[in-house]
């Protein structure tokens, strides 16, 4: 569908979104969840939105999907203003989210037929999709018996009905089993030239496979950074990391004794290194350590963007940060 009228697929300018947070009925207090956000997405960009919980990722998507209206600023999709021409925007944009549900007493077949006919589209591609993802045996079951994974497939089948050229995908892949997830990622990747993806996902693989740009949100609602994955990786002040799974929880001193910057990531610990020599040195020390179950070393990946920027934002200066200082890397 050649909507080439406008340079940008999505353009967000000075967007502000406030929600009531406390206060009384007469004197409501408002909190800005998104505060002066500006960015744009061109054709060929596929954007992963990352940010701490509550940083407004879902809110941003809901504004793009027309569920919320901006308090200030403009949002255009293919040049159509989201507040005045929502109908046209929604003709080409699908929002896939676990927050969007179906009537549980209807069958999958009825559901797909309903959305296809309402859009004036052929339902066959959706049935084919359902079949391809191994849910065809559920066609005549009511949606109330569906597993979360099957619902996720259903959501994609419905979202694809209108042949969207923009898909907003909010943490939908989490409930899929490994095989289906792999299959879905391959399916979506193969359509990258036709569909612009905007995704929120905590899974690094998904982000890696579906996006080439990263939009980082700062808590309090503005853009921390928008850039190519490669570019953002370069802004991280180290080149390698050694990821360690310890046998049991060790105190700070234990890790400090390695004399290498480190950080806690869940139950793992990561040493971060500037040179291959540092990696080898840590590797040699770890190999002989009986308190280590396993370790692996790698160059930087999207995972590091999460760890570096998000942990940085959430826990800056907290105990978990070990000895590392990120200050010079801030934008």
Residues 6+ apart with CB under 8 A from 91: 162
Q: DSSP H helical segments within the chain, as ranges?
A: 57-64, 86-92, 108-119, 124-132, 148-161, 178-189, 204-210, 229-234, 252-256, 276-287, 302-305, 312-315
The binding track of 7-46 with respect to ligand ADP, each residue x by CB under 6 A or -, is ------------x-------------x-------------
- Which of 192, 224, 245 minimizes the C-alpha distance to 50? 224
Examine residue 111 and tell whether it contacts ligand ADP (CB under 6 A).
Answer: no
User: How many CA atoms lie less than 13 Å away from 143 in the CB half-sphere?
Assistant: 17
For ligand ADP, give the closer residue by CB, 58 or 297.
Answer: 58
Neighbouring CB atoms inside 10 A of 185's CB total: 18
Examine residue 54 and tell whether it contacts ligand ADP (CB under 6 A).
Answer: yes
136 binds, among Mg ion, ligand ADP, other proteins, none (CB under 5 to 8 A by kind): none
- Which of 207, 199, 126, 200 minimizes the C-alpha distance to 166? 199
* Interface ranges with Mg ion (CB under 5 A): 58
Question: Which member of 29, 42, 117, 268 binds other proteins (CB under 8 A)?
Answer: 117
56 binds, among Mg ion, other proteins, ligand ADP, none (CB under 5 to 8 A by kind): ligand ADP
For ligand ADP, give the closer residue by CB, 33 or 47.
Answer: 33
- Indicate the residue whose CB is closest to Mg ion: 58
Question: Which member of 59, 196, 206, 211 binds ligand ADP (CB under 6 A)?
Answer: 59
Starting from the edge strand earliest in sequence, which strands make up the sheet with 262-265, in order?
Answer: 262-265, 268-273, 240-246, 292-299
In whole angstroms, the minimum distance from the beta carbon of 62 to other proteins comes to 8
3 binds, among other proteins, ligand ADP, Mg ion, none (CB under 5 to 8 A by kind): other proteins
99 binds, among other proteins, Mg ion, ligand ADP, none (CB under 5 to 8 A by kind): other proteins
Find the part of the chain contacting ligand ADP (CB under 6 A) among 49-57, 145-153, 159-167, 287-295.
Answer: 49-57
The binding track of 120-159 with respect to other proteins, each residue x by CB under 8 A or -, is x-------------------------------------x-
For Mg ion, give the closer residue by CB, 59 or 297.
Answer: 59
CA 72 – CA 36 distance, rounded (Å)? 8
Examine residue 51 and tell whether it contacts ligand ADP (CB under 6 A).
Answer: yes
For Mg ion, give the closer residue by CB, 58 or 94.
Answer: 58
- C-alpha distance from residue 229 to each of 132, 215, 238, 241, 274 (Å): 31, 10, 15, 17, 19
**SS3 label, residue 327:** helix
Residue pair 49/215 in contact (Cβ under 8 Å)? The answer is yes
Please count the residues of the chain: 331
Bridge partner list, 294: 245
In whole angstroms, the minimum distance from the beta carbon of 177 to ligand ADP comes to 24
DSSP 328: G
Site residues (vs ligand ADP, CB under 6 A):
19, 33, 51, 53-59
Site residues (vs other proteins, CB under 8 A):
1-3, 17, 19-20, 59, 65-69, 71, 87-88, 90-91, 93-95, 97, 99-106, 110, 114-115, 117-120, 158, 162
């Amino acid at each position: 569908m050649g909507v080439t009228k406008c340079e940008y697929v999505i353009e967000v300018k000075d967007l502000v979104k406030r929600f009531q947070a406390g206060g009384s009925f007469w004197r409501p207090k408002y909190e800005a969840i998104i505060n002066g956000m500006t960015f744009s997405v061109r054709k060929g960009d596929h954007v992963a939105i990352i940010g701490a919980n509550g940083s407004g990722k879902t809110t941003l998507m809901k504004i793009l999907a027309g569920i919320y209206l901006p308090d200030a600023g403009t949002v255009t999709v293919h040049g159509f203003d989201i507040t005045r021409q929502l109908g046209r925007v929604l003709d080409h944009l699908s929002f896939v989210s676990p927050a969007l549900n179906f009537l549980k007493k209807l069958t999958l077949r009825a559901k797909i037929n309903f959305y296809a006919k309402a859009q004036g589209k052929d339902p066959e591609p959706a049935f084919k999709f359902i079949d391809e993802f191994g849910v065809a045996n559920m066609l005549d079951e009511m949606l109330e018996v569906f597993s979360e994974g099957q619902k996720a497939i259903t959501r994609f089948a419905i979202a694809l009905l209108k042949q969207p050229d923009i898909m907003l995908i909010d943490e939908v892949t989490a409930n899929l089993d490994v095989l289906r997830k792999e299959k879905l990622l391959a399916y979506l990747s193969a359509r990258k030239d036709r569909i612009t993806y905007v995704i929120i996902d905590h899974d690094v693989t998904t982000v890696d496979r579906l996006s080439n740009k990263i939009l980082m949100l700062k808590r309090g609602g503005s853009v921390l950074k928008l850039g190519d994955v490669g570019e953002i990786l370069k802004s991280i002040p180290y080149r390698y990391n050694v990821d360690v799974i310890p046998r049991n929880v060790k105190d700070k001193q234990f890790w400090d004794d390695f004399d290498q910057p480190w950080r806690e990531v869940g139950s793992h610990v990561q040493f971060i290194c500037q040179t291959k020599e540092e990696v080898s040195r840590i590797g040699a020390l770890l190999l002989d350590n009986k308190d280590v179950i396993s370790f692996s070393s790698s160059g930087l990946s999207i995972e590091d963007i999460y760890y570096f920027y998000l942990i940085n934002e959430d826990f800056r200066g907290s105990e978990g940060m070990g000895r590392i200082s990120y200050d010079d890397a801030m934008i």
